[in-house]
Structure 1
Amino acid sequence: MVDRYDVVVAGGGPAGLIAAKTAAAQGGKVLLLELQAQIGGQIQSANWAPSELLTPNLKDAVVSDVKEVRFHSSRHRLIARGNFGSIIDRGVFDKLLANEAIAGGAEIIVGCPVKELLIGGEAVRGVRIEAGGWREDIECEVVIDATGARGEWSGLMLKKAMGMDWNAEKLIVSNEYLMANAEDDQAVDIFFNSYFSPQGNAWIYPLGRSLALAGIRGVRIHPDIALDEFMGRMKIPRLEKASPIAAYRAQLPFRSDPVTYGNGIIAVGSSAGQVYPLSGHGLKYAMECGEIAGRVAVDAITEGDVTKKGLEEYERRWRSKFGVELKIGQLLCEGLKISPDKKINLLFDLADELKLQDAIVKIFTGAELKPSISKLFEHAGVRKIFGREIYEKIIAMCE
């Protein structure tokens, strides 16, 4: 390990790995530090990924293509069929990304928790890593915070550079079980029930080989109890003979931070709140914003300005690409906040009647969002469900 790097990336998930790969490809001397003992370790066993993210090098991580999505409410089941991306094995996926980053020139060290930022004057100058009785300071020009939003050492920029912490009221918590001996049903099931998952949802993803991922997310819930109660009460046929063999807890912010960059530091992925609020999906934002972060970091170093002014291009680029999309997701959540079960039932009734199943899937996942929103809100019944104020704000953003 050299004494000084151009870029240090804290966190070895997709956001950090893509940032490291991109910065190295731009000629930067890059070090990525991962808290866990392996890349793709005890994180999450699977993600629902958009097709456009799955380059040929990453397709070995695909465990199932999503051809059918079943949405469940308290009185309705809405079925959509089409090409809706793939379920990926995150352990494999992250390791493939790490392979690309290392091949491109980045260094990766695992088992290295970043516990502090090195600050000189008013700027971040590097990181401090600690493990057991060992401590080391690593200096760099730019730190990219990809530490996520869960756990003591997450949200590095928010906690250590801004002196803040996650607002519990703006966090959504989740738990997932890897289920063995599940029925080999290749559909994705999404459940809306405000009793089990207030302001969230539950899901079942097919993983093949008689495995499935069952999860739940919501606000102000105990995720373990909520998932156990959901599975116990719902009596889901595909899981009737299945048992959990692994559990994965997480938390995600509802919305992006007001500022995702500072003097010598950039935040990316869920560390920056780059998560689609309606579904909690964040892989697309993590990877694409990670690429933007890597490019901007090296450009700023090349130009000799890693101050907040020199890094503000990161904020401008990612918000230009995804800011409206994330804001629409927030507004959709707000529109469903009061009487959510009643509104979801009405929405599914209308979607079934008007053949809008495809639009519902795309709005839920944030795919092709603007045209899908415009198609859905053509109908007066849908506008009534969300209310005039929410409708007008969303449509104005789609123009």
Structure 2
Amino acid sequence: MYCDVLVVGASPSGIAAATSAAEGGAEVILLDKEMGGDFDHPANTFFDGMFRRAGLEVEEEYVLHDLEGMRIISPAGHAVEIPAPGRFIDRGKFDALYLGRAEGAGVRLMRGVARSAPLAGSGRRVETDAGEIGARVVIDASGVDGLIARKEGLSPLKHPEDVAWAAEAVVELSGLGEEKYFEYFVGSISPGWKATFSPGGGDLATLGVFVRGHGRDVRPFLDRFVELFKKYKSAEYDVSEMKVVSINRGGDAIAALPGEIVADSLMATGAAAGMSGIAYAMRAGTIAGEVAAGAVGSGDVSIRGFSPYIRRWRREFGLEYRMGRASLLTLGRMRDEEIDRLALGLSKRDLGVPGSFFRKGLSTGISLATTRPRTIPSLVRSFVEG
């Protein structure tokens, strides 16, 4: 079996990469172990500004619940409220919509697992449980572990030790999903990043923890957060009736940053390349697919032929990811008491800044710095080291 471009992993970035490569004239196969079944894609919330920033449109057919913004909640319960329209989505419908568009562009969907992708002549020979596939270009979009990229000698994450490992509970409680704000809980409740509450409409919501520096098994942090959340909401709901429906696990490369993401006939994109977030990962995949199709067309599938992928991604998103990493590392160095004082100061400021999502984030960062000047050296150091 042969194709111009083989994309491994039907993640948002993988689907986008396959679609854009096919639209660029390449013969494309999209391979995933769950193809035709239920994908394990637990991410379910995004903000409209991020979609616009990535050149995407929000489509109501997969939206379950509209959000008005986010609250960042300190260990002592001080809340910083940021208006920012967002959505809780049905991931099954979301994935099906974009897979259908990939097929419409000419992508062949295939179920299987890729085990290796060694160089073979002017392409790669991919060993899968569905047989051998020859491809001029292989794009690894298989998630944060990036198994193909790593096996073939790349180090696609610059800081793999900073992957945030996640555990998320889908919960039911009468009326809980009707709330209008996504909530981030920061501090020692979820070291290194956040715990989250995502209202999904009706009685549905998710509670999650994203933890750095404590290994992959973060279930104890989730259990602790669920109990804290019940206390936090006990004045509004009969939390004794809250039921945990299911538990999802995964990893998020938000602080890992891209490392080596291209080799001859091989690219990594999305979480496999340290590019996290649904919208931003899809944009990264789109760029990768466009560059892959162009490289196949020109006959140059070398590292040099893929250089536009790196340049374009850095130009569009490099600064944001470095700023995000610096902010997370700074947060991780702060004690709960410091976070409380910072949140109390920010809660007295108007963070309803007009403009893009990036501008809102930048304004919040400026407010943080002026409220707590001692954080500036740590932020700068983290940015430079990133």
TM-score range, shorter chain: 0.7 to 0.9
The alpha-carbon deviation at position 288 of structure 1 amounts to 0.4
For residues 57 and 228 of structure 2, the distance between their equivalents in structure 1, rounded to whole angstroms, comes to 41
Report whether the alignment pairs 1:202 with 2:191. no
1:278 maps to: none
The alpha-carbon deviation at position 337 of structure 1 amounts to 2.4
Residue aligned with 2:168, SS? strand
Report whether the alignment pairs 1:252 with 2:246. no
The alpha-carbon deviation at position 14 of structure 1 amounts to 0.6
- Higher RCO, Cα 8 Å, sep 6+: 2
1:173 maps to: 165
Unaligned runs of 5+ in 1: 276-281
Count matched residues.
372
2:128 maps to: 129
**Change beyond 3 A, Cα 1:68–1:296:** closer
- Contact kept, 8 Å, 1:76 with 1:349, in 2: the verdict is no
**Change beyond 3 A, Cα 1:370–1:39:** farther
For residues 270 and 223 of structure 1, the distance between their equivalents in structure 2, rounded to whole angstroms, comes to 19
2:20 maps to: 22
Report whether the alignment pairs 1:159 with 2:151. yes
For residues 379 and 13 of structure 1, the distance between their equivalents in structure 2, rounded to whole angstroms, comes to 34
For residues 57 and 38 of structure 1, the distance between their equivalents in structure 2, rounded to whole angstroms, comes to 25
Higher mean displacement: 20-29 or 84-93: 84-93
**Change beyond 3 A, Cα 1:214–1:389:** closer
Write out per-residue CA displacement over residues 175-209 of structure 1, whole angstroms, 9 at most, x where no aligned residue. Answer: 00111235232321211131x31111111111113
- Contact kept, 8 Å, 2:75 with 2:340, in 1: the verdict is yes
- Contact kept, 8 Å, 1:297 with 1:311, in 2: the verdict is yes
Residue aligned with 2:75, SS? coil
Q: Percent identity?
A: 25
Counterpart mapping for 1:368-379 below 5 A = 368-370=357-359, 372-374=361-363, 376-377=365-366
Unaligned runs of 5+ in 2: none
- Contact kept, 8 Å, 1:50 with 1:284, in 2: the verdict is no
Higher mean displacement: 184-193 or 100-109: 184-193
- Contact kept, 8 Å, 1:117 with 1:128, in 2: the verdict is yes
1:214 maps to: 207
Out of 4, 7, 16, the residue aligned to residue 6 of structure 1 is: 4
Out of 186, 189, 193, the residue aligned to residue 183 of structure 2 is: 189
**Change beyond 3 A, Cα 1:161–1:140:** same
Amino acid at match of 2:183: D
The alpha-carbon deviation at position 348 of structure 1 amounts to 1.5
- Contact kept, 8 Å, 2:325 with 2:383, in 1: the verdict is no
The alpha-carbon deviation at position 378 of structure 1 amounts to 6.0
For residues 168 and 292 of structure 1, the distance between their equivalents in structure 2, rounded to whole angstroms, comes to 23
For residues 334 and 36 of structure 2, the distance between their equivalents in structure 1, rounded to whole angstroms, comes to 43
For residues 381 and 172 of structure 2, the distance between their equivalents in structure 1, rounded to whole angstroms, comes to 46
**Change beyond 3 A, Cα 1:309–1:93:** same
**Change beyond 3 A, Cα 1:60–1:21:** same
1:116 maps to: 116
Out of 335, 344, 360, the residue aligned to residue 339 of structure 2 is: 344
Question: Structure 2 length as normaliser, TM-score?
Answer: 0.87
For residues 56 and 162 of structure 1, the distance between their equivalents in structure 2, rounded to whole angstroms, comes to 33
Amino acid at match of 1:16: G
